[in-house]
Amino acid sequence: MKSEGGFEIYEKVPAGGPEWTTRRENEALRELEPAEKIFGHSFLREWQFLNKEGEEWEAFAANPAGQRYLSQRIAAREKAYKRTLEEFTRELTDLANRHPDKLEIFFEAYAERAAAFERPEQTESEAKKEATGKIINSYKKGVPGAGPDFLAGILKQRELEIKTAKEALKPEFETYREKLIAELTAASKEGARSDSETRREPRPDSGRQAAERKQIPVSAEIVKERLLNLRIVFVDEIAVDLKEAWGDYAKLANTVRISTRVPRAERWRVFVHEALHAVSGQVEVAAESAGSNNHNFVFHDQIKFGLHFDKADRPGPSYLSLWWLNEAVTQNLTDRFAGQGKESVEQKLAALLVSKGVPAELFEAAYFENYEAKPRGEHRLPQTKRLFEAADKIFGQGFLMQLDHYLRMKSRGVDKKDRKYVIASIILEWQDRGDQFPQMVRALSEFDFEGLRSRRQDKRRK
């Protein structure tokens, strides 16, 4: 999947052919199953073949088609095995440097093999710790920390573990699906569209209180449609970079991915959070452009996803994301359906907007709003518009966009996992500066816009 001009390109297929519509989905799904990428079957398959075991070997051995053929195959496999081992080592080295924690998970449970081998006199936990540390350090330096037999043994066990976990989790999450459909349809109301209701005098209160009191502005039909069609897959989190703790939601494939290591106590909560992303209001755009040789490109992009906006002309000065507000509202709703959790910094920042007068119900109305084809002149996302207008009225024109830009500005060079500190510092700044805060945010983000613009023009001149 490439990115071109801000769009993700999903396909380049002959226009009108049968693949025209199905390719995009396949492409999105392929992205979802990379568990084999690192701890892949290919390494294990080669290893099994060379050690004359596994299904593939049995199939060969059962066929008396000739020793010559078999020995040729083994020679070919030996080459492939060496290549796979090199790749595998490279990938582990990469993982050791980028995510040593993941490699630790991978080796920890099995390190006693190495430990028993090296120093039988140590206690088990000491030995494990030492052996794991040794292996990881060696991979960090690019020196393979364990032999092929050892790795193949770990892979075999890991594969079995993941398979067992997947089988156990599947029925459990199916019951969560049923449960959430029942709870969301019971709380659903169509009412967000009625003007008389949203025009009633808004009472400033925290988003959390409002969520407890209110029904949710989404129809039972949408809840059922999205949740019944939702794919739930379980992945080895070591091999897959999940976007959130224990899980994530892939919007274009309508798929929730859950780590096979998700603790029992967290499961319902994790599912509710990710599934709410699926139920949230979405706007997807697809654009065609003619290519050469009767091949056309089709671009797909989701420009609204709950309250997360993804404008195609990223990442210019007018780019709007609001990912943090989307997470805040998702988490407020999760608290309502899965029980109160620890308040996140995103929730705190959203609650600050509410405490300054943005009506809490507007966040949910905009969050659940889907694009609707409306007659000319009518706004296609009236609830979303209303939220922005409410913020404009209180904080000044364009405030949400400026705040979003300010956050992005302060996040430059900050690790994704440390973004929470950036949000926390913004909350403190707002509390300290009070009513002067919006003014400061406007001035700083405009100053930065200018910088961005001139940097872009310089680039173009070159």
Residues of this chain that bind Zn ion (CB under 5 A):
330
The answer to whether the beta carbons of residues 184 and 227 sit under 8 Å apart is yes
Nearer to Zn ion, 158 or 269 (CB): 269
Beta bridge partners of 305: 282, 308
Helix (H) or strand (E) holding 220: helix 220-228
State the Cα–Cα distance between residues 236 and 328, nearest whole angstrom.
27
Shortest gap between Cβ of 237 and Zn ion (angstroms)?
A: 16
State the Cα–Cα distance between residues 67 and 69, nearest whole angstrom.
5
- Minimum distance, C-beta of residue 274 to Zn ion, in the bound complex (Å): 7
Residue whose CB is less far from Zn ion, 307 or 426: 307
Query: Based on CB atoms, which residue is closest to Zn ion, 131 or 258?
Result: 258
Nearer to Zn ion, 330 or 383 (CB): 330
Tokens (6 digits) for 394: 């209180």
- What does the alpha-carbon distance between residue 110 and residue 136 come to, in Å, rounded to a whole number? 13
Beta bridge partners of 259: 235
Decide if 422 contacts 407 (C-beta within 8 A).
yes
Minimal distance, residue 335 CB to Zn ion, in Å = 13
Q: Which residues pair with 284 in a beta bridge?
A: 302
Cβ at position 148, least distance to Zn ion in Å: 40
- Supply the minimum distance, in Å, between the C-beta of residue 221 and Zn ion: 24
CB burial readout 276-293, b (16+ within 10 A) else e: bbbbbbbbeeeeeeeeee
Least Cβ distance, residue 154 to Zn ion (angstroms): 32
Q: What are the start-end ranges of the H helices in 303-398?
A: 323-338, 345-355, 360-367, 382-395
Among residues 245 and 414, whose Cβ is nearest to Zn ion?
245
Q: What is the separation of C-alpha 377 from the centre of its chain, rounded to a whole number of angstroms?
A: 36
* CB of 162 or CB of 184, closer to Zn ion: 184
- If the CB atoms of residues 282 and 330 are measured against Zn ion, the closer one turns out to be 330
CA distance 445 to 183: 42
CB of 277 to Zn ion, least distance (A): 6
Enter the tokens of residue 448.
């930065």
